[in-house]
């Protein structure tokens, strides 16, 4: 919102597309470098001319892939993140300019070595040629190790939020596990690349030798290392406050619980992230098994089709795992510093910086709640006549006022929500708000994200140890803006969801209980919500409901404690008791609803 | 401050502005040289591929074959050397650069696939060149067109970044990310200035190639020096003229400062013009000179000096424009000297390693590896 918003629907998908391609190639670049030098060493030691010729041909294809697609998709990521997440890119560049600069020296060395290695087959002594190969691998791996520091920082910023020190941010809790994990993936992909390249060979003996070597010495050991380093990574992330269990819908962050949640049918967690995790784990497992089976059964005869399918499995699995990493990070783009929509947490009192610098941050949550998103962002185009609180606006006929609210709400959505949500496509907002009233949407916006301590107690966003409790694990950032902006957004969304009268009606003349239900319960238990209340009444009395409302987290652990007043609790209990009395007690949950767990 | 300029992050700058500025100018200069060889070389090579002149046809073919082999290396250098100024420009001017990029988002992003396509085209010419005619002509034309398009888009972004006063209005007019900055009076003169400059640099590169090959292939060397010098002289002379148009197209406050209001900017401008005229003049004199080698080296010296002055002048134009827009760097600096020292050490190590590898490759003799 400090920067203009590019009108591309769900631009995060563009980052994902460019990044997945680049990550796939760049990991090849690292592992492939090691493969080339070790294969060349092996060929020279065993005087295996056929293998040497294969490595030579491999190196040529390698530079075409690395120098062109690898380097340019890397630049492509720079371009893309700057277009989609300029605020976060600016922060990362400012904090880590020397890390990027260091990475650049390694990148330059890597590119030069790749060329000298490929052009040097006939011009360099064998020893020098191998040395150049090692220069290539070491600089490529070191480049990975530098980028991993910045990527890991985005997930777990460590003590940086307190100190803003370079080393505190770079050597953060998930740094080493991420380097280990990415190294293991690179080694595995190198084996996969060799397996693919060997499929072009006509010499069946050589093909079988290369394929067996790739599968048994590269892919299989890498698979073991990937599993071990992944467990290390997830445990380090969970330890640093990343909502691993919540996002994946698991009871805990233990490997067994995570696997059970990913492949089980649970109602909680982020559905897309869980799907991505299935793709990542399932794809990787299939890849390893299929590679070993291919080598065991068809090492001399396999062709490009089989090898191409393995490559496709590799990129799909890699895409899934990158998606999970991004999903685990949300709602942050930079852990405990900035949300995905560019909103920052308020600076802690007495934080670093010259007087007033961070404290006056107009794009922090607290400042936006005071001044409003539309008034703060120069890129917002709110209708001039939308002036909440102004008698001229409040005195307008309901229809005109609502039309202005819809327009203002659309603008809030564009600036604050459109980085993730499209209207009808990816995370399509129409589908998510279908049939929801203004009150329900407001309740979801209120519940979207709350700052909590490690043990779940309420906290402040500027607390350095803050964690995020999100509504149903959906990993949304908190709403940023004034109450009037929240109302405008809710009216706009309710209209998108099909409520033609949203914003027109005065609050319905219903009992306080129905209002309380709309406000506190309907987001999850409304007629179109995942767990309709009519399926759960079971003939209970108002007194029973009153008692249950007092211990909601014990009824189901996903439910938050009731946050309304005593009067609202009574009214709500009466309302539910009345509903139960008029609803058959033996209602069977609809079969087409996946989430049908009953309250205990 | 102009309303369209985003606010600075509430974060300290990781180094004094002067250091980041110096690194930006230095790395941009290096990128500029490599980029000029790529862009100007592609245009010049295209011209030579379509040339029907009998005279020097053999040498032209030799030079084209060399250029086809060298182009992928030059592209790799241009891309690699482009990453560093991209980094430093984002630290210092990200608030303008990100905004101007978003206004032309799709077109800016298109640079990546365009360069990828051109790069593969260059490899096609390097690995499968079938001589100066035939299919190679089509590929060479495509490569030159792609690089000229990339330069076009770069100029659009660079000129927009200097006009933050147009940001908000432009964003309201089009949020799709398809805006080019063609209405800016500086656009076309600047683009033409870039193209002619690139051709001049590449032409002098051809002359330099002749100088370096003169012991082995004296006739080719003489031809390359003569043709290279001629094109260099003509392109530079034309560029002095286009440069004047570029100067006159500047917004009035910037123009006034350049021609008298600001001593440093005026000095750079005067020096740039003198160096350009001198380089063009020397090239014309060189056509009748006996010691063409020394004259070529003289031109290389003048060209390097001109490029340095032009990079600094370009920066001055930016600073003058941004001063009028009220742009200021944040005053809060917490220098990260430790990571900076690691960068310097690794930079030295990288330069030494690359030099060692390049020397080993240059000294290597065919067939030793097998």
**B interface test, pick of A69, A98, A347 with most B CB neighbours within 10 Å:** A98
- Examine the domain organization and report whether A65 and A117 are in the same domain: yes
- Examine the domain organization and report whether A467 and A380 are in the same domain: yes
Instruction: Show pLDDT as tens, one digit a residue, over chain A (600 residues).
Output: 899 999 888 888 899 899 999 999 999 899 999 999 999 999 999 999 999 999 999 998 888 888 889 999 999 999 999 999 999 999 999 999 999 999 999 999 999 999 999 999 999 999 999 999 999 999 999 999 999 999 999 999 999 999 999 999 999 999 999 999 999 999 999 999 899 989 999 999 999 999 999 999 999 999 999 999 999 999 999 999 999 988 888 888 888 888 888 888 766 778 889 999 999 999 999 999 999 999 999 999 999 999 999 999 999 999 999 899 889 999 999 999 999 999 999 987 766 555 445 558 999 999 999 999 999 999 998 999 999 999 999 999 999 999 999 999 999 999 999 999 999 988 899 999 988 889 889 988 988 899 999 888 889 998 988 999 888 778 899 999 999 999 999 999 999 999 888 888 665 545 588 888 887 888 788 877 778 888 788 888 889 999 999 998 788 777 777 878 888 899 999 999 888 887 765 444 444 434 333 333
- Examine the domain organization and report whether A173 and A185 are in the same domain: yes
- Examine the domain organization and report whether A424 and A516 are in the same domain: no
Whether the CB-CB separation of B192 and B128 falls below 8 Å is answered with no
Predicted confidence band of residue B335 (pLDDT cuts 50, 70, 90): very high
- Chain B contact for A583 (CB, 8 A cutoff): no
Where among A483, A506, A529 does a domain terminate? A506
CA distance A357 to B334: 13
DSSP-derived secondary structure letter, B333: B
- Examine the domain organization and report whether A468 and A547 are in the same domain: no
Please check whether residue A458 lies inside any domain of the structure: yes
Please check whether residue A53 lies inside any domain of the structure: yes
Burial class for B61, CB neighbours closer than 10 Å (0-12, 13-18, 19+): middle
Determine how many CB atoms are found less than 10 A away from the CB of residue A511: 14
Among A272, A255, A242, smallest CA distance to A12 is for A272
Domain, as residue range, for A568: 510-600
- Examine the domain organization and report whether A72 and A112 are in the same domain: yes
Nearest to A123 among B84, B123, B364 (CB): B364
Whether the CB-CB separation of B320 and B253 falls below 8 Å is answered with yes
Please check whether residue A4 lies inside any domain of the structure: no
DSSP state string for A497-558 = TT-TTTTTSPSP---HHHHHHHHHTHHHHSTTSSS-GGGS-TT--HHHHHHHHTTHHHH-TT
Where among A440, A473, A506 does a domain terminate? A506
Which A residues in the span 534-553 are in contact with B, Cβ-Cβ below 8 Å?
none
CA within 13 Å, CB half, A259 = 9
CA distance B329 to A187: 44
3-state secondary structure of A406: helix
Which residue is listed with tokens 């690898």?
A: A70
- Examine the domain organization and report whether A70 and A166 are in the same domain: yes
How close A109 comes to chain B (CA, Å)?
6
Nearest to B73 among A89, A115, A360 (CB): A115
Which residue is listed with tokens 């010296």?
A: B301
Structure tokens at A379: 């890129």
- Examine the domain organization and report whether A490 and A528 are in the same domain: no
Structural domains of chain B ordered from first start: 17-331 (1.20.1630)
- Examine the domain organization and report whether A61 and A209 are in the same domain: yes
Whether the CB-CB separation of A452 and A469 falls below 8 Å is answered with yes
Determine how many CB atoms are found less than 10 A away from the CB of residue B307: 18
- Chain B contact for A78 (CB, 8 A cutoff): yes
**Overall domain count for chain A:** 3
Please check whether residue A284 lies inside any domain of the structure: no
DSSP-derived secondary structure letter, A418: T
Would the CB atoms of B79 and A167 count as touching at under 8 Å? Answer: no
- Examine the domain organization and report whether A101 and A72 are in the same domain: yes
Which residues face A344 on adjacent strands? A338, A364
- Examine the domain organization and report whether A405 and A530 are in the same domain: no
How close B300 comes to chain A (CA, Å)?
25
Residue A119's closest chain B neighbor by CA?
Answer: B361
Whether the CB-CB separation of A247 and A327 falls below 8 Å is answered with yes
E strand or H helix that includes residue A470: strand A467-470
Which residues face A468 on adjacent strands? A451
Please check whether residue A139 lies inside any domain of the structure: yes
How close B272 comes to chain A (CA, Å)?
31
Determine how many CB atoms are found less than 10 A away from the CB of residue A551: 11
Dihedral-angle region of residue A353 (phi above 0 means left; psi in -120 to 50 means alpha; beta otherwise): left
How close A537 comes to chain B (CA, Å)?
49
Please check whether residue A271 lies inside any domain of the structure: no
CATH number at residue A469: 1.10.760
Please check whether residue A289 lies inside any domain of the structure: no
Dihedral-angle region of residue A12 (phi above 0 means left; psi in -120 to 50 means alpha; beta otherwise): alpha
- Examine the domain organization and report whether A457 and A573 are in the same domain: no
DSSP state string for A270-333 = -HHHHHHHHHHHHHHHHHHHHHHHHHHHHTTT--HHHHHHHHHHHHHHHHHHHHHHHHHHTTEE
Where among A219, A244, A269 does a domain terminate? A244
Q: What is the pLDDT of residue A511?
A: 58
Please check whether residue A427 lies inside any domain of the structure: yes
**pTM for the model:** 0.91
Whether the CB-CB separation of B49 and B138 falls below 8 Å is answered with no
């Amino acid at each position: 919102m400090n920067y203009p918003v590019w009108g591309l629907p769900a631009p995060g998908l563009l980052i994902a597309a460019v990044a997945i391609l680049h990550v796939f190639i760049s990991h090849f670049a690292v592992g492939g470098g090691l493969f080339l030098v070790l294969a060349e060493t092996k060929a020279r030691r065993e005087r295996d001319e056929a293998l040497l010729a294969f490595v030579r041909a491999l190196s040529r294809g390698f530079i075409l892939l690395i120098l062109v697609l690898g380097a340019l998709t890397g630049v492509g990521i720079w371009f893309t993140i700057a277009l989609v997440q300029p605020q976060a890119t600016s922060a990362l560049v400012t904090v880590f300019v020397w890390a990027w600069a260091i990475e650049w020296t390694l990148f330059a060395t890597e590119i030069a070595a790749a060329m000298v290695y490929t052009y040097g087959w006939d011009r360099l002594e064998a020893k020098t040629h191998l040395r150049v190969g090692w220069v290539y691998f070491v600089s490529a791996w070191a480049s990975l190790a530098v980028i991993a520091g910045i990527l890991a920082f985005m997930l777990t910023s460590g003590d940086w939020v307190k100190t803003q020190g370079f080393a505190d941010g770079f050597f953060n809790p998930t740094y080493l596990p991420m380097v280990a994990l990415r190294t293991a993936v690179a080694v595995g992909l190198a084996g996969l690349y060799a397996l693919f390249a060997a499929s072009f060979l006509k010499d069946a003996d050589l093909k079988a030798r290369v394929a067996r070597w790739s599968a048994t010495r590269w892919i299989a050991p890498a698979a073991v290392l990937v599993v071990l380093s992944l467990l290390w990574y997830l445990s380090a992330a969970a330890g640093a406050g990343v909502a691993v269990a919540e996002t994946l819908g698991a009871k805990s962050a233990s490997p067994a619980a995570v696997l059970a949640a990913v492949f089980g049918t649970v109602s909680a967690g982020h559905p897309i992230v869980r799907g991505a995790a299935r793709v990542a784990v399932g794809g990787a497992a299939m890849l390893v098994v299929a590679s070993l089976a291919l080598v065991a059964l068809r090492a001399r005869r396999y062709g490009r089709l089989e090898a191409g399918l393995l490559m496709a499995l590799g990129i799909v699995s890699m895409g899934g795992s990158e998606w999970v990493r991004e999903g685990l990070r949300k709602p942050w783009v930079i852990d405990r510093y900035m949300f995905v929509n560019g909103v920052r947490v308020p600076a802690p009192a007495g934080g670093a910086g010259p007087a007033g610098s961070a404290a006056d941050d107009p794009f922090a949550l607290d400042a936006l709640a005071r001044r409003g998103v539309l008034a703060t962002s120069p890129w917002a185009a709110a209708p001039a006549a939308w002036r909440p609180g102004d008698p001229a606006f409040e005195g307008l006929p309901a229809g005109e006022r609502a039309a202005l609210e819809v327009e203002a709400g659309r603008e809030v959505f564009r600036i604050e929500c459109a980085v993730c949500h499209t209207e009808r496509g990816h995370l399509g907002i129409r589908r998510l708000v279908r049939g929801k009233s203004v009150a329900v949407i407001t309740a979801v916006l209120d519940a979207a994200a709350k700052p909590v301590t490690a043990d779940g107690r309420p906290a402040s966003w500027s607390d350095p140890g803050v964690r995020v409790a999100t509504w149903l694990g959906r990993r949304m950032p908190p709403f940023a803006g004034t109450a009037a902006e929240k109302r405008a957004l809710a009216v706009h969304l309710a209209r998108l969801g099909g409520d033609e009268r949203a914003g027109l009606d005065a609050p319905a003349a219903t009992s306080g209980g129905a209002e309380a239900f709309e406000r506190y319960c309907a987001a999850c238990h409304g007629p179109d919500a995942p767990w309709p209340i009519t399926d759960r009444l079971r003939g209970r009395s108002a007194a029973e409901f009153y008692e249950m409302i007092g211990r909601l987290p014990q009824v189901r652990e996903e439910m938050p404690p009731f946050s309304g007043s005593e009067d609202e609790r009574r009214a709500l209990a009466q309302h539910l008791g009345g509903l139960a009395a008029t609803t058959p007690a033996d209602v069977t949950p609809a079969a087409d609803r996946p989430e049908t767990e009953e309250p205990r | 401050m102009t309303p369209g300029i985003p606010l600075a992050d509430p974060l300290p700058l990781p180094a004094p502005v002067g250091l980041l500025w110096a690194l930006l100018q230095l790395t941009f200069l290096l990128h500029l040289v490599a980029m000029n060889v790529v862009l100007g070389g592609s245009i010049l090579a295209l011209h030579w591929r379509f040339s029907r002149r009998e005279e020097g046809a053999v040498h032209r073919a030799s030079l084209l074959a060399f250029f086809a082999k060298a182009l992928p290396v030059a592209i790799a250098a241009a891309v690699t050397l482009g990453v560093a100024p991209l980094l430093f420009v984002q630290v210092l001017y990200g608030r303008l650069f990100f905004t101007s990029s978003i206004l032309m988002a799709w077109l800016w992003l298109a640079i990546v696939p365009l360069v990828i396509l051109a790069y593969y085209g260059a490899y096609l010419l390097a690995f499968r060149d079938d001589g100066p005619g035939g299919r190679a002509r089509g590929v060479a034309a495509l490569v030159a067109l792609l690089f000229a398009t990339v330069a076009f888009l770069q100029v659009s972004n660079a000129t927009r970044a200097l006009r933050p006063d147009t940001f908000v209005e432009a964003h309201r007019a089009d949020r799709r990310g398809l805006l080019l900055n063609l209405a800016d009076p500086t656009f076309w003169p600047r683009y033409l200035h870039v193209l002619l400059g690139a051709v001049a640099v590449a032409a002098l590169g051809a002359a330099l190639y002749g100088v370096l090959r003169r012991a082995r292939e004296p006739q080719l060397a003489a031809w390359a020096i003569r043709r290279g010098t001629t094109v260099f002289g003509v392109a530079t002379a034309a560029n002095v003229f286009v440069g004047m148009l570029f100067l006159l197209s500047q917004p009035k406050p910037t123009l006034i400062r350049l021609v008298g209001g600001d001593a440093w900017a005026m000095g750079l401008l005067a020096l740039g013009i003198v160096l350009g005229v001198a380089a063009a003049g020397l090239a014309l004199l060189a056509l009748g000179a006996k010691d063409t080698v020394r004259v070529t080296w003289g031109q290389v010296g003048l060209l390097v000096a001109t490029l340095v002055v032009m990079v600094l002048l370009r920066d001055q134009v930016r600073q003058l424009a941004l001063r009028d827009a009220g742009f200021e760097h944040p005053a809060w600096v917490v220098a990260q000297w430790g990571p900076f020292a690691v960068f310097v050490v690794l930079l030295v190590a990288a330069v030494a390693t690359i030099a060692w590898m390049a020397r080993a490759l240059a000294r290597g003799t065919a067939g030793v590896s097998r």
